[in-house]
């Protein structure tokens, strides 16, 4: 068990093995390119070059080197697959896919709203207010102009408010809502006043 761990510790990193050099203690590639991932360094070396990667890692703080190596490895793998666009092509593809899915989601939401409005029952008709109807009938019945004037009073004579005035000397006539004998230009007042012009 100790010999196995010792051999694993003494094995060169993937970068030194690819470059065919001895992996020294404190190798800057060893923490980020383990020997079991040789293709990772091969892609990075093909796209960026080992010397550029060494310079980049030496310029960065130790807590940022792992993220930088992962970014370089992702970009290098994308460049190997797509030499023209690299990871930009993958990002554009994902953005188009998100846009397409968003349109499908909006269309599905619109269909749901339309179906919900179609299946919604219409509002019930408003029931007539019975009390308002009776109140209107009472107003019509009590109003003298709507219900019709009485032709005669209680004693059989003409009403004091309505006066039956015949037209054309015939039997028909219409009722006025006032007494014509009380007007200053009536026939009786003219005869009593002697000419009637002073009373007008």
pLDDT tens per residue across all 200 residues of the chain: 333 444 445 689 999 999 999 999 889 999 999 999 999 999 999 999 999 999 999 999 999 999 999 999 999 999 999 888 888 988 999 999 999 999 999 999 999 998 888 877 766 776 655 555 566 566 656 555 554 555 554 444 444 444 444 444 444 544 555 555 555 555 554 555 554 444 44
Helix (H) or strand (E) segment spanning residue 132: helix 130-142
Q: Please name the residues in contact with 177: beta carbons below 8 A apart, sequence gap of 6 or more.
A: 144, 145, 149, 161, 162
Residue 199, Cβ neighbours under 10 Å: how many?
14
Cα–Cα dist 10/197, whole Å: 145
Q: What is the DSSP secondary-structure string of 162-199?
A: -EEEESTTSS-EEEESS-GGGSTTSHHHHHHHTSSTTT
Say what the pLDDT of residue 179 is: 54
Place of tokens 């293709």: 39
Say what the pLDDT of residue 5 is: 41
* Residue 84, SS3 per DSSP: coil
The reply to whether the predicted model has a pTM over 0.85 is no
**In 3D, which of 80, 62, 69 has the Cα closest to residue 15?**
69
Sketch the domain layout of the chain as residue ranges. Answer: 14-81, 87-119
The distance from CA 165 to its chain's CA centroid, rounded to whole angstroms, is: 71
Cα–Cα dist 43/92, whole Å: 22
Cα–Cα dist 40/88, whole Å: 20
Residue 179, Cβ neighbours under 10 Å: how many?
14
**Contact between 166 and 172 (Cβ < 8 Å):** yes
Say what the pLDDT of residue 11 is: 83
Residues 46, 59, 51: CA angle, nearest 5 degrees: 25
Say what the pLDDT of residue 90 is: 87
């Amino acid at each position: 068990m100790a010999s196995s761990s010792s051999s694993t510790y003494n094995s060169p990193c993937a970068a030194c093995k690819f470059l065919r050099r001895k992996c020294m203690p404190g190798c800057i590639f060893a923490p980020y390119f383990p020997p079991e991932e040789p293709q990772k360094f091969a892609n990075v070396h093909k796209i960026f070059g080992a010397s550029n990667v060494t310079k980049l890692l030496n310029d960065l703080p130790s807590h940022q080197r792992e993220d930088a190596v992962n970014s370089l490895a992702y970009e290098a793998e994308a460049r190997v697959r797509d030499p023209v666009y690299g990871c930009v092509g993958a990002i554009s593809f994902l953005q188009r896919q998100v846009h397409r899915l968003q349109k499908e989601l909006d269309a599905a939401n619109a269909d749901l709203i339309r179906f919900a409005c179609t299946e919604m029952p219409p509002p019930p008709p408003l029931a007539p207010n019975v009390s308002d109807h009776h109140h209107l009938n009472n107003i019509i019945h009590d109003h003298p102009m709507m219900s019709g004037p009485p032709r005669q009073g209680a004693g059989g004579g003409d009403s004091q408010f309505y006066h039956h005035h015949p037209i054309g000397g015939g039997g028909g006539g219409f009722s006025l809502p006032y007494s014509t004998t009380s007007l200053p230009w009536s026939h009786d007042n003219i005869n009593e006043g002697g000419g009637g012009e002073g009373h007008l």
